[in-house]
C-alpha cells in the first residue's frame, strides 16, 4: 500500500476496522447474560422441536427478533451462534442430530411490529450464514444456572451487524429431520404472566366421604392489571365450603402458629390448614364436584409484580371424618408484571414448519450467544 493511501484511512475507519477484527461474544437477550430467565416456563421446545409421532414431521422454524439496542455490541462481524439448555427443567435433553439452516438479517422496524409472516420480518440484507447437519448431546438439568454453552454453529458466511435504534436483528432457524423423539430444550425468556406453585402438593390423605380428594385445579394466572380465579375439582358434589387467601403459606405463621397446622384438634387428623387467611369467600360446589372462586381484579400497579399470595379451601362434609372438615389443594400465586424482554418470536412446528406464517409472541425470545 502506498503512503498516500495510508493517509486516507481516517481514525473513524481505523476504529471500525479494529472493532470488526476483535473477537468476543454477546448474549441475547441481554438480561439472560446475568440472570436466569424466571417468568413462566424458561425454555423453548420449538428451536429444536421433535416428536415421537410417526405422522408428524420432526421439523420446526423459529424466527427470533431482537431489539437492535439490546445486542451488547454496536458493530460486529458475527461468525457463530451458540445455544444452551435451561436450568430448572427436569427433562433430559436427548442426544440428537438435525439439518439446520440459519439466516440473519436486520430490519428497520421495532420487534413490536413483527408480522406473523416469516418473510415479512426480514430485511434486505437477509443472509444464509449456515446450512448443514448439526449434533447436540444428551444434557441433564444442571444443578445451577447457567448451563454450559454448546459448541458454536460456525457461520460459513459472516454477517455484519450494526446497532441502530428502532431496528431489529432477525435470527431465523429452520431444522428438519430431527433424530430425537422429544425436543432439545433451549433456554428462553418469556413475558411475565404470573405463576402458580403448590403449597404444598395435593393431600391425598384428606378425603371426602366419597373417597375423592381435591386433586385438580383450573385457574387464571395473576398479572398486574389482570384478573385471577381458581376452581377446585374432584370435590364432593354440592359440598359447601369457604375459600381463603392471605400473604403467608407453608413456612409462615398464623396467629403465632407455624404453618401448616394439623387439624387433628378439630377431629380431622389427616387434613392440614396451610395459609394465614386474610379474605374469605363462600363457595358451593357444583353437581359435578367443581367449586370456583369469583374472579378477582389485580390492581394495575407495577409494584405488585413479583408479590405472592396464597389460597386454601375448607369444605364441610360431616361423613368424611369426626370433625366433618376436608381441606383442598393450596397454592402460592406469584403476580406477573405482564412485561418481558425486548424481542419477539415467531414459530411453526411439525407438519406446519414449512408454512409461510406462524404463531407470534411478543416480549419473549430464546437465549443465544453470538460470536464475533
Same domain (yes/no): 213, 282: yes
Using CA atoms, how far residue 87 sits from 181, 326, 333, 346, in Å, is: 21, 37, 21, 23
For 319, phi then psi, to 5°, come to -90, -5
Claim to verify: residue 113 and residue 232 sit in the same structural domain: no
Would residue 5 count as lying in a domain? no
* Residue 3 included in any domain: no
Question: 201 in a domain, yes or no?
Answer: yes
- Cell numbers at residue 300, please? 394495575
41 domain residue, yes or no:
yes
Residues 145 and 68 in one domain: yes
The pLDDT assigned to 4 comes to: 30
What pLDDT shows up at residue 360? 98
At 10 the pLDDT is 37
Amino acid 41: pLDDT: 87
Its sign, for the CA torsion 77, 82, 86, 87, is: negative
Q: What is the pLDDT of residues 277-321, one digit of tens each?
A: 999 999 999 999 999 999 999 999 999 999 999 999 999 999 999
Residues 266 and 162 in one domain: no
Predicted confidence at residue 12, as pLDDT, reads: 40
Which residues have C-beta within 8 Å of that of residue 38, sequence separation ≥ 6?
Answer: none
Same domain, 283 and 322: yes
Look up the CATH number of the domain holding residue 267: 2.60.40
Model pLDDT, residue 39: 75
pLDDT score at 3: 26
- With a cut of 50, list the residues of the chain below it in pLDDT: 1-21
Give the domain extent around 114. 15-191+340-371
Is 344 part of any domain? Answer: yes
Same domain, 230 and 361: no
Asked if residue 167 and residue 29 are part of one domain, the reply reads yes
In the structure grid, which three cell numbers stand for residue 55, read together?
Answer: 405422522
Max CA pair span of the chain: 101
- Are residues 219 and 171 both part of a single domain? no
How do residues 119-149 score in pLDDT, each as one tens digit? 999 999 999 999 999 999 999 999 999 999 9
Q: How many domains does the chain divide into?
A: 2
pTM, full prediction = 0.75
Do you know the residue count of the chain? 372
Say yes or no: 74 and 102 in one domain. Answer: yes
* 181 and 304 together in one domain: no
- Please report the DSSP string for 176-228 in residue order: E---SSS---EEEE-----EEEESS---TTS--TTS----EEEEE--BTTSEE
- Which pLDDT value is given to residue 108? 98
358 and 255 part of one domain: no
Report the pLDDT value the prediction gives residue 296, as an integer from 0 to 100.
96
* pLDDT score of 22: 56
Q: Where on the phi/psi map is residue 12: left (φ > 0), alpha (ψ -120 to 50), or beta?
A: alpha
187 and 159 fall within a common domain? yes
Contacts of 291 (CB under 8 A, 6+ apart): 231, 232, 235, 239, 241, 243, 283, 284, 285, 313, 315
Amino acid at each position: 500500500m502506498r503512503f498516500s493511501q495510508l493517509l486516507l484511512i481516517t481514525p473513524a475507519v481505523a476504529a471500525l476496522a479494529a472493532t470488526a477484527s476483535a473477537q468476543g461474544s454477546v448474549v441475547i437477550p441481554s438480561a439472560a447474560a446475568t440472570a436466569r430467565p424466571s417468568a413462566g416456563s424458561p425454555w423453548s421446545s420449538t428451536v429444536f422441536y421433535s416428536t415421537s409421532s410417526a405422522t408428524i414431521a420432526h421439523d420446526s422454524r423459529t424466527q427470533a427478533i431482537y431489539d437492535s439496542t439490546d445486542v451488547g455490541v454496536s458493530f460486529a462481524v458475527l461468525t457463530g451462534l451458540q445455544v444452551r439448555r435451561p436450568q430448572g427443567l427436569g427433562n433430559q435433553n436427548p442426544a440428537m442430530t438435525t439439518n439446520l439452516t440459519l439466516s440473519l438479517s436486520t430490519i428497520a422496524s421495532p420487534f413490536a411490529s413483527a408480522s406473523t409472516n416469516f418473510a415479512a420480518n426480514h430485511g434486505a440484507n437477509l443472509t444464509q450464514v449456515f446450512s448443514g447437519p448439526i449434533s447436540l448431546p444428551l444434557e441433564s438439568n444442571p444443578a445451577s444456572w447457567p448451563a454450559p454453552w454448546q459448541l458454536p454453529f460456525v457461520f460459513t458466511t459472516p454477517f455484519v451487524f450494526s446497532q441502530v435504534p428502532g431496528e431489529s436483528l432477525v435470527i431465523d432457524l429452520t431444522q428438519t429431520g430431527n433424530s430425537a423423539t422429544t425436543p432439545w430444550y433451549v433456554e428462553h425468556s418469556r413475558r411475565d404472566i404470573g405463576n402458580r406453585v403448590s403449597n404444598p402438593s395435593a393431600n391425598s390423605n384428606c378425603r371426602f366421604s366419597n373417597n375423592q380428594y381435591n386433586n385438580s385445579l383450573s385457574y387464571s394466572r395473576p398479572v398486574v392489571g389482570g384478573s385471577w380465579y381458581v376452581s377446585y375439582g374432584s370435590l364432593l358434589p354440592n359440598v359447601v365450603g369457604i375459600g381463603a387467601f392471605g400473604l403467608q403459606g407453608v413456612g409462615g405463621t398464623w396467629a403465632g402458629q407455624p404453618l401448616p397446622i394439623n387439624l387433628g384438634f378439630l377431629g380431622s387428623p389427616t387434613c392440614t390448614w396451610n395459609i394465614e387467611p386474610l379474605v374469605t369467600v363462600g363457595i358451593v360446589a357444583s353437581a359435578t364436584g367443581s367449586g370456583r372462586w369469583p374472579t378477582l381484579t389485580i390492581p394495575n400497579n407495577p409494584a405488585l409484580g413479583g408479590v405472592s399470595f396464597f389460597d386454601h379451601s375448607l369444605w364441610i362434609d360431616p361423613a368424611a371424618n369426626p370433625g366433618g372438615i376436608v381441606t383442598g389443594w393450596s397454592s402460592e400465586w406469584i403476580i406477573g408484571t405482564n412485561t418481558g424482554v425486548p424481542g419477539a418470536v415467531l414459530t411453526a412446528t411439525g407438519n406446519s414448519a414449512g408454512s409461510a406464517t406462524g404463531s407470534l409472541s411478543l416480549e419473549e425470545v430464546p437465549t443465544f450467544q453470538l460470536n464475533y
